[in-house]
Amino acid sequence: MPGDKVEINETHLAKARAVFPRLWELLTPILQASPQRRAVVAVHGGSGVGKSEIGSLLAYGLNAVGVGAYVLSGDNYPRRIPAANDAERLRVFRAGGLRGLATSGEYDATVQAVLSDLQRDGADADPSRVAAHSWMATYLRAGSIALDAYLGSAAEVDFDEINAILAAFHGGADSLVLKRMGRSADQIWYERLDFSGVQVIVLEWTHGNSTLLGGVDLPILLNSTPEETLAHRRSRARDGGVDSPFTTLVLKLEQAKLQAGASRAKIIVAKSADLLDYPEYLHQMGADLPGAGPMLNLYPDSLGGTLAEIADFVAGPAAGVFESAYLLPSVFNTDLDRGFSVIDYGLNRWFATPADLDRLAEAGVDLKLDFILNHASVLSPQFQDLLAKGADSDYRDFFVDWNKFWAGHGELTEAGYVQPDPALIADMFFRKPGLPILMVRFPDGTEHPYWNTFYQQVRYPVFEAEDLLAATGLQYQGAAVLAERLNQVIAEGGRPGEADFAGLESAREAAIDLAESRRRYLGQMDLNIESELVWDFYAETLDKLAGYGARIVRLDAFAYAPKQPGARNFLNDPGTWDLLAKVKQLADARGLILLPEIHASFAEGTYAQLSELGFMTYDFFAPGLIIDAFESRDASTLKRWIAEVVTAKIRTVNMLGCHDGIPLLDLKGLLSEERIKALIEVVVARGGYVKDLHGAKNVYYQVNATYFSALGESESRLLLARAIQLFLPGKPQVWYLDLFAGPNDHDAVARAGEGGHKEINRSNLSAEAVADGLTRPVVASQLELLRFRRDFPAFGFDAECEVADTAADRLAITWRRAGAAATLDVDLVAETFTIRAVDAIGREFNFG
């Protein structure tokens, strides 16, 4: 910063000694590849971390080994002089806060008078004032959003000028005109310097890793916490109000920006002078866990029709309620299964735009997004390339070639596929009847079987006489008869070769070849995880999800991906765990947290195995256990499960309802068969549908119903269930239809036809329905509880949770953290609850 002195101490020397060998290792090939043999190294980090000192030491070291280096301070390129810097930031914050109050309708003469006093006292960025003035929450939120958009932006920093300097340097300029700046308006000047002997610019600057900055070859992050930054600012004593709430807010926002860009840094240095890789950095910063605040779960068209309306909801009536949003995969370019058949992971522009994602981020909402490891749509570019080029396709082995996989382990049939030895498939898990294969026609007319675990459909067009004339050599009348016969057999679900060719035998081969060449497919094709191209695809997809703002990535269908002759080919051991470990390495490098999704009984212990391997896991037990506690007036099993999660430190995402219904298979080992069947009967009697396990009769899997209907459409029960969920360990996920107390939609099931049972719980809500829902007390009360769960400091993955030893029909859960405590007391007989909470400075929250 202009006006600062560079005072080098042993801490700086230790960091420079640690960095220099790695810097030299990375810098050498960069210089060799540069036409001008030049490079830019950016030393960045928070205020007081030692950027100037370490930048100077690194430049000294480079000069000592014969590489000319120059230290350039980015702090000479703000839009305004440093003395006015904090004043402008404060103006932006206050203007944003006022706009937020005006937009929300909370601004009036009383608010104006109180706010004026707070601003005069420098207390309007103090979050503790919310307890006395509820409208301060809106002011702080809106002001913080405006300030965050300003900090490090082109409005604050002249990136154009410094980018031009770096571009000229890379272009080989022998001299550069650099800006100099003191701390007042009369201390600005320019100076031309000789750069003919300079090979490396060491740019020291907080914004040295900004995406608005071009020309940086090697960013180095010097890590510091906001507390360390604040201590340094105190030691300099150059800024007024160094301990003010506003300064604390600025440091918090700057730290978040540094953390968001940390994955781009080539070298990360800890305060201890240790070099960190990115996962180690996240762990040190406590960022390897997601926030424990509520997560809204919905399709991109669930509320109002597009993601734009969802952004309106979370920034408007639900402002400050949700920390995260789980957007189901129809947000991507998909074709089947409401999104779970992905063509590619580009945004579905019918529902979502990049601007919508930006608005969610501005509202403080990060994302959970799906990644389907096992399969991709037949419409994916990779499969379409295979159809177009056949054996010449680069993606020939991107998918699982059935015959190659089973080579030597079965007999080739007349139909062209290998029938595996019976012993090798005796224990294999099948999602559907028959072998999981799709016969794929190559351009040369040959047929090749590919592994297809999930849905498939083969379709043919409707043929006209004109289609057959040239191909068959028939006259028009004969072609018309043959077209009619082909269309008839296809309409009945047959193949072209099964048509009646009586009297038209000469056209049989040509007609079948033409019909099969026009064959079209729907479905999901299994990916070959032995292919390097698949792993390239995995990495590219994770990059894309991270770019969208994902914090958590849900891994769908991962248990089907590892395959081996003779294995069950579902949750293979150790293949499944090897796959997850490899994907986790990719995710860790991108700051993503993986959430593998799998339904398995409690007795199998899969949830515990995932947790022991360092993964988050779904709490698929809570939804059924809460209903069971209501029906039996006995929370004993629920208490035991909570105690296990706490004791084993299992990091969960919990829920009531979701897009897939209420899980029941998972309860085996927690509840007796009799209690599970009684639970099924209760929910079915209230309008639900039982889904069997992948078509296996009498093997229950889940009940499809809205959670509200499963509770007997009792608003008081729904609110009680929500309160219990919010006090469970983990991150609470909220299905949008539960939030709005939505009943079963039997009409949607009827419209969907066979297999449409899931639609009972997936009804989209119009903008009018959302507005009407917000007037209902049960919705308003849930939003109040969710906002409390997000904001109150007693909760978190690092908090203490205690389940009291109470009678079976009572439940008491207490959370403690940072001097705050919150207790939920439940009476299952009366079906009532109370919440009593107080934080470290005495602010209270009471409900019920």
For residues 256, 258, 261, 265, the Cα torsion angle rounded to the nearest 10 degrees is -150
> Residue 660: is it exposed, middle or buried by C-beta count within 10 angstroms (0-12/13-18/19+)?
middle
The Cβ-side half-sphere exposure at 848, using a 13 Å CA radius, reads 19
Query: Which of the listed residues 470, 501, 518 is the one where a domain comes to its end?
Result: 518
- pLDDT tens sequence across 152-173: 999 999 999 999 999 999 999 9
Query: Which residue is listed with tokens 């154009």?
Result: 160
CA 175 – CA 197 distance, rounded (Å)? 10
Helix (H, G, I), strand (E, B) or coil at 691: strand
Average pLDDT estimate for 116-125? 94
The domain spanning residue 423 has which CATH number?
Answer: 3.90.400.10
370: left (phi over 0), alpha (psi -120 to 50) or beta: beta
CA 140 – CA 94 distance, rounded (Å)? 9
The Cβ-side half-sphere exposure at 412, using a 13 Å CA radius, reads 9
Residue 800, in any domain of the structure: no
The DSSP code sequence of 570-599 is SS-TTHHHHHHHHHHHHHHTTT-EEEE---
Average pLDDT, the chain: 93
Average pLDDT estimate for 185-191? 88
The domain spanning residue 21 has which CATH number?
Answer: 3.40.50.300
Q: Which amino acid is at 89?
A: R
Give yes or no: residues 242 and 271 share one domain. Answer: yes
The DSSP code sequence of 233-278 is HHHH--STTTTSHHHHHHHHHHHHHHHHTGGG-SEEE-TTS-EE-H
User: What percent of the chain is modeled with pLDDT above 70?
Assistant: 96
CA 757 – CA 755 distance, rounded (Å)? 6
Q: Closest Cα to residue 678, out of 624, 719, 722?
A: 624
Give yes or no: residues 32 and 174 share one domain. Answer: yes
CA 473 – CA 264 distance, rounded (Å)? 64
Question: Residue 36 is encoded by which pair of tokens?
Answer: 């001008």
> Residue 70: is it exposed, middle or buried by C-beta count within 10 angstroms (0-12/13-18/19+)?
buried
CA-based radius of gyration for the chain:
31
Give yes or no: residues 165 and 261 share one domain. Answer: yes
For residues 599 and 620, is the Cβ–Cβ distance under 8 A? yes
Query: Which residue is listed with tokens 């029906």?
Result: 631
Instruction: Say if strands 39-45 and 200-204 run parallel, antiparallel, or are unpaired.
Output: parallel
H or E segment to which residue 486 belongs:
helix 476-491
Give yes or no: residues 28 and 122 share one domain. Answer: no
CA 13 – CA 770 distance, rounded (Å)? 60
Give yes or no: residues 425 and 401 share one domain. Answer: yes
Query: Which residue is listed with tokens 């230790």?
Result: 14
- Residue 692: is its pLDDT beyond 70? no
CA 559 – CA 573 distance, rounded (Å)? 10
Average pLDDT estimate for 612-641? 97
The predicted pLDDT at position 701 comes to 65
- Confidence band, pLDDT 50/70/90 cuts, at residue 697: very low
Query: Which residue is listed with tokens 């996920």?
Result: 733
CA distances from 593 to 197, 291, 387, 454, 555 (A): 46, 11, 35, 26, 10
For residues 249, 253, 258, 260, the Cα torsion angle rounded to the nearest 10 degrees is 150
Q: Which residues span the domain enclosing 119?
A: 83-150
Residue 234, in any domain of the structure: yes
∠ CA 371-372-376, rounded to 5°: 125
**Of 556, 628, 738, 745, which residue is the catalytic one?**
556
The predicted pLDDT at position 389 comes to 98
The predicted pLDDT at position 700 comes to 58
CA 188 – CA 182 distance, rounded (Å)? 6
CA 550 – CA 332 distance, rounded (Å)? 13
Query: Which residue is listed with tokens 């020309």?
Result: 215
**Of 126, 597, 660, 713, which residue is the catalytic one?**
597
Residue 451, in any domain of the structure: yes
CB atoms within 10 A of CB 123: 15
Give yes or no: residues 423 and 498 share one domain. Answer: no
Query: Which of the listed residues 242, 259, 284 is the one where a domain comes to its end?
Result: 284
CB atoms within 10 A of CB 603: 11
The residues, any chain, with a CB within 8 Å of residue 120's CB and separated by 6 or more, are: none
Helix (H, G, I), strand (E, B) or coil at 661: coil
Active site residue 556: yes
State the angle between helix axes of 476-491 and 465-472 in degrees (0 to 180), rounded to the nearest 10.
120
For residues 398 and 534, is the Cβ–Cβ distance under 8 A? yes
The predicted pLDDT at position 93 comes to 96
CA 49 – CA 202 distance, rounded (Å)? 16
- pLDDT tens sequence across 275-309: 998 878 887 887 777 899 999 999 999 999 999 99
**Where is average pLDDT lowest: 129-133, 595-599, 741-745?**
129-133
- Residue 238: is its pLDDT beyond 80? no
Give yes or no: residues 120 and 234 share one domain. Answer: no
CA 691 – CA 745 distance, rounded (Å)? 16
Residue 503, in any domain of the structure: yes
For residues 229 and 47, is the Cβ–Cβ distance under 8 A? yes
Instruction: Say if strands 652-655 and 341-347 run parallel, antiparallel, or are unpaired.
Output: unpaired
CB atoms within 10 A of CB 588: 19
The DSSP code sequence of 266-305 is SEEE-TTS-EE-HHHHHHHTT-SS---S-EEEE-TTSBTT
Give yes or no: residues 447 and 466 share one domain. Answer: no
The residues, any chain, with a CB within 8 Å of residue 418's CB and separated by 6 or more, are: 402, 403, 406, 407, 409, 410, 411, 412, 449
Residue 453, in any domain of the structure: yes
- Confidence band, pLDDT 50/70/90 cuts, at residue 698: very low
> Residue 390: is it exposed, middle or buried by C-beta count within 10 angstroms (0-12/13-18/19+)?
middle
For residues 315 and 141, is the Cβ–Cβ distance under 8 A? no
- pLDDT tens sequence across 638-691: 999 999 999 999 999 999 999 988 998 899 999 999 999 999 999 999 999 987
Specify the number of domains making up the chain: 4
Q: How many residues does the chain have?
A: 848
H or E segment to which residue 313 belongs:
helix 307-315
Give yes or no: residues 277 and 171 share one domain. Answer: yes
Instruction: Say if strands 218-222 and 39-45 run parallel, antiparallel, or are unpaired.
Output: parallel
Query: Which of the listed residues 284, 308, 336 is the one where a domain comes to its end?
Result: 284
Residue 5, in any domain of the structure: no
Give yes or no: residues 168 and 30 share one domain. Answer: yes
CA 783 – CA 775 distance, rounded (Å)? 12
CA 412 – CA 420 distance, rounded (Å)? 9
- pLDDT tens sequence across 510-543: 999 999 999 999 999 999 999 999 999 999 999 9
Give yes or no: residues 391 and 272 share one domain. Answer: no
Give yes or no: residues 501 and 420 share one domain. Answer: no
CA 380 – CA 397 distance, rounded (Å)? 14
- What is this structure's pTM? 0.80
The predicted pLDDT at position 175 comes to 97
Residue 812, in any domain of the structure: no
- pLDDT tens sequence across 361-399: 888 899 999 999 999 999 999 999 999 999 999 999 999
Residue 246, in any domain of the structure: yes
For residues 292 and 322, is the Cβ–Cβ distance under 8 A? no
Active site residue 692: no
Helix (H, G, I), strand (E, B) or coil at 331: helix
Query: Which residue is listed with tokens 């991108």?
Result: 590
